[in-house]
Chains A and B, each alone.
Chain A
Amino acid sequence: MSREQRSLEWTPLLFSGGLAFLLFTLFIATMFGEPPMRAGAMIQQAGGVELGAANLVTAVVLGYRGLDTLGELAILFASATAVGLVLSTQNGESDKQASVFPDKIFLGEIFESASRLLMPLLLLLGFYIIIHGHLTPGGGFQGGVILAIALFLPALARSGEIPLNHATIRLVEGGAGTLFILIGLMALMQGESFLQPLLQPGEIGALFSAGSLPLLYLAVGLKVGAELAALLVHLSGESA
């Protein structure tokens, strides 16, 4: 047995020992009972009134911590771009990338018809969840994933054939991110801070309320949906 192999045998033991120690320390250091809520209590008091969002989570995600959300969108975007870059360089000169989907196979009448029927319904559901993000649980991230599923389904049923052209996907991908930043910059131009909520908070619980937060969520939803769809395009092997 070589030296390297022997050291490899020790690695899992060391790793689990370290992990056990880590969890033990965390257990000791965690405060059980009622942890202090310095920022949290303030947000719970002010959130609903200040922003007019019935769903307090939305007030936090898009209002108080809007910059984090923008950062998360950028992370998703960076991952999709990196995947595209890796897949296009791994396949060298050829413009056509290898597809992860099998070649044309007919999956049966029921499957194909179902996928065709479900797609508009899924799109509707996705947009519904995005638009009601400031009222009910859900919002841009969840709705965006459903939008992406609506595009995944026909692709699965018809061997990687994507109902949207990838120039469109790229346009939505860039456009939605731009919309988010532009809404933030508009506040800045009016002499306020970046990402300050615009428009009137309105009546809590109404569809048109919470100022510019629903617009931001729409941008988030489109961005998430387009990002996942772009990944699908890369994996299905179309030259992007």
Chain B
Amino acid sequence: MHAENLALLVALPLLTAFLLQPLSQKFAVGWLAPLTVLVTLLLTLQLGAGVMEQPISSVMGGFVVPMGINFYLDGLAWLFLIALQLSLLLLWPRGEQGQSVRVQVLMLLLTASSIGLLLSGDLFNLYVFYELLAVATFGLVAAGESRATAIISFRYLLLSGVGSVLALTGIALLYSHAGTLNLGHLAELVASGELVLPLSAFLLMLLGFGVKAELFAVNGWVPEVYATLSPRLSALLAGVVSKLALIVIVRLLVLLFPTPEASQVLLLLGVLGVLSGELAAWRAQDLRRMLAYSSMGQLGVIFIAFSLSVEAGLLVGIMLSLHHLLVKPGLFLLTEQRFQGWSMVLFILFALSLVGVPPLPGFWAKFALLTGLVSAGGWINSTALVVFLFATVVEASYLFRVVQHYHQERERHQERGRAAVSVVGQDNSGVWISTLFATGLLLTAWQIQPISDYLQQLAVQAGDRQQLSAIVVGVTEGRP
């Protein structure tokens, strides 16, 4: 299958999004949008066949690379594409909210922009997809039933707008220094020492893209938005969408800013994120807010991981991201109804993995971070280590407080002779989908060795700047 078809992954969801409203006047189109995502998922599987050996690149419009925009698919992008599309299919809005054609359109635009963020190899194009992602999310947040959503989404819009301005300023600054926006081309220039990019450009882009990645100082929107959105959408945003911005930041760090200063900024913001997020989660009174705050803390941990040296950092960071991507949506879905029996078992399973109890994947990811921090040495890393261990204790404390709370409540119900059963006919699909996430978690625990070998390969590939430049520049040769 030739590389030019990479464009289809973005073009098809956009096409369906444009067509959906005119078509909806004549036909029932509820199935069309998820079907499109299924088609792009199959396309991704087909395109990704040989991608671990040889990443592929395709230039839109067939121009030479620094002039045109290219899409680049390597193992890392492929893995997150699969995770993204599976999560989208599982968490696609259903019921009353899913009936609205406009919600379907916004979900398709969210899909297209997320895929674009993973594939695009051009800085300004990344910014365009980031904006599209932001606007689609505003719409979805504002569509909630309660009247408070309008205010919440407005605050989110303001913060996100400031972030976009910062990111765009960073990109403009970088362009004024380099005269090109292509990541492959830039990586080549930086690697050969021909170009030194100013750290302020990285900071601006870090804060800008960090809004979606729940980076400390620009993550104020997180608790409000996740507490008001439907559990499915919270699960989607906290699970996979927050990782997309993270991947963009990591690519910037690895390809363009391989300096210790850039890593230290990431480490510092990560540590502050862990402290603020976990302590706020410990004090939170509402379950969804607690999960939202703890998500801020866990993304802080991932930022700490990526600040390690390139090879170790990428591996540990990807492990932690994937773990969070499985656990957080599962937890958010459980908040849909009251805890009882099976959902309690699932909650305890997710909580154990989040804290890092041995056979579960969370343990391996956290253990890798621990060894990485110890071997990196230095007082900054030691401080991060202490903070990280402290955060784990706090995490365990509040997660098991929830378990204890619900257990007591159940006993009280039983004493009164009322079984704590939910209303008959309640929508249980959230628990089923959560079960699927838990199955994924257990499968990972079972196959931990082959999976970590695969991730190791992936990390080496994502850190290989020469391969990226060679492939992106290689595409340009032999074309007019």
* A residues adjacent to B (C-beta < 8 A): 22, 25-26, 28-31, 35-43, 46, 50, 63-68, 70-72, 74-75, 77-79, 81-82, 84-86, 88-90, 167, 170-171, 173-175, 177-178, 181-182, 184-185, 188, 191-197
Contacts and interface: CB of A to CB of B under 8 A. Distances in A.
A230 B453 CA distance: 52
B100 A39 contact: no
Interface in B57-78: 58-64, 66-69
Interface of A is mostly: helix
Interface in B238-282: none
A75 B137 CA distance: 11
Contacts of B4: 188, 191-194
A194 B7 contact: yes
A196 B105 contact: no
Contacts of A173: 18, 21-22
Contacts of B19: 174, 178
Given A75-B132, A197-B61, A86 B18 contact: no
Contacts of A197: 61
Contacts of B113: 71, 74
Nearest to A15: B162
Contacts of B61: 63-64, 66-67, 193-197
Interface string B219-251: 000000000000000000000000000000000
Contact of B125 (A42, A71, A84, A194): A71
8 contacts: A30-B173, A38-B185, A50-B63, A82-B136, A85-B100, A178-B18, A178-B19, A184-B11
Contacts, number: 189
Contact of B200 (A26, A36, A192): A26
B150 interface: yes
B181 A39 contact: yes
A42 B64 contact: yes
Interface residues of B, number: 65
Contacts of A68: 69, 124-125, 128
A175 B22 contact: yes
B142 interface: yes
The 6 closest A-B pairs by CB, nearest first: A82-B139, A194-B7, A177-B18, A36-B179, A71-B128, A38-B179
A109 B20 CA distance: 42
Nearest to A47: B67
Nearest to B203: A25
Given A36-B179, A188-B4, A194-B7, A78 B109 contact: yes
B179 A178 contact: no
Contacts of B131: 71, 75
A214 to B, nearest CB: 16
B142 A36 contact: no
Given A39-B67, A64-B61, A86-B139, A31 B179 contact: no
Nearest to A66: B61
A71 B180 CA distance: 20
Given A81-B106, A194-B61, 9 more contacts: A41-B179, A63-B63, A71-B128, A82-B102, A82-B136, A173-B22, A178-B19, A188-B5, A192-B62
A85 B139 contact: yes
B237 to A, nearest CB: 16
B304 interface: no
Contacts of A182: 15
B176 interface: yes
A90 B128 contact: no
Contacts of A184: 7, 11
Contacts of B125: 65, 67-68, 71
Contacts of A25: 200
A193 B58 contact: yes
A29 B25 CA distance: 53
A176 B298 CA distance: 43
A72 B129 CA distance: 9
